[in-house]
Amino acid sequence: MIYIACDHGGVELKNAVTEMLRASGTEAIDLGTDSAESVDYPDYGFAVAERVAKSGGADKGIVICKSGVGMSICANKVNGVRCALCFNSEMGRLCREHNNANVLALGAGNTDTATALDIVKAFLATEFAGGRHAERVKKITEYEERHG
């Protein structure tokens, strides 16, 4: 299952990503927002991140705002979430393969729709490589548990 949300700056891109996910048979839960009326992005970033964290790694999330920065900061405040702001499909692949990212952040103002769709596809198609990367992710998790 994929949880997806955006602020007012990302509605158009969120709708395109959600449409692509559903057309491919992926269950996509849209947590809003649905208009260009100004909203507070933390409300939407936290909503996605909390659901992903509660899934214990079974689900993924996508958060979108104008730059992608605010949403990525919010998502990364939730214990158990590793959110990556990506600008190309290689980053989408590597954040999963090396960092076991479970939330993807996109910037609607700096990523065109076709590129964003490619990033999402790479993110969802890539498995965590484990191995030496697992030890690094474990260090992040342990730090989070001690200080989070």
Specify whether the CB–CB gap between 103 and 82 falls below 8 A.
yes
Q: Which of 6, 8, 83, 98 does the annotation list as catalytic?
A: 98
Q: What would the mean pLDDT of 2-15 be, rounded to a whole number? A: 98
Indicate if 65 belongs to the active site.
yes
pLDDT in the model for residue 148: 73
Backbone φ, ψ for residue 141 (5° rounding): -60, -45
For residue 130, pLDDT over 90 is answered with yes
Q: Residue 70: CB partners within 8 Å, gap ≥ 6?
A: 7, 41, 42, 45
pLDDT band at 72 (very low <50, low <70, confident <90, very high): very high
Q: What would the mean pLDDT of 42-70 be, rounded to a whole number? A: 96
Q: Which of 65, 74, 83, 95 does the annotation list as catalytic?
A: 65
Q: What would the mean pLDDT of 61-77 be, rounded to a whole number? A: 98
pLDDT in the model for residue 91: 98
pLDDT in the model for residue 57: 78
- Domain span at residue 47 reads 2-147
**Distances, alpha carbon 8 to alpha carbons 34, 48, 66, in Å:** 8, 16, 8
CATH of the domain at 111: 3.40.1400.10
pLDDT in the model for residue 111: 98
Domain count, the chain: 1
Specify whether the CB–CB gap between 103 and 85 falls below 8 A.
no
**Distances, alpha carbon 58 to alpha carbons 103, 110, 140, in Å:** 12, 29, 19
pLDDT band at 64 (very low <50, low <70, confident <90, very high): very high
**What's the pLDDT tens digit per position in 73-127?**
999 999 999 999 999 999 999 999 999 999 999 999 999 999 999 999 999 999 9
pLDDT in the model for residue 87: 98
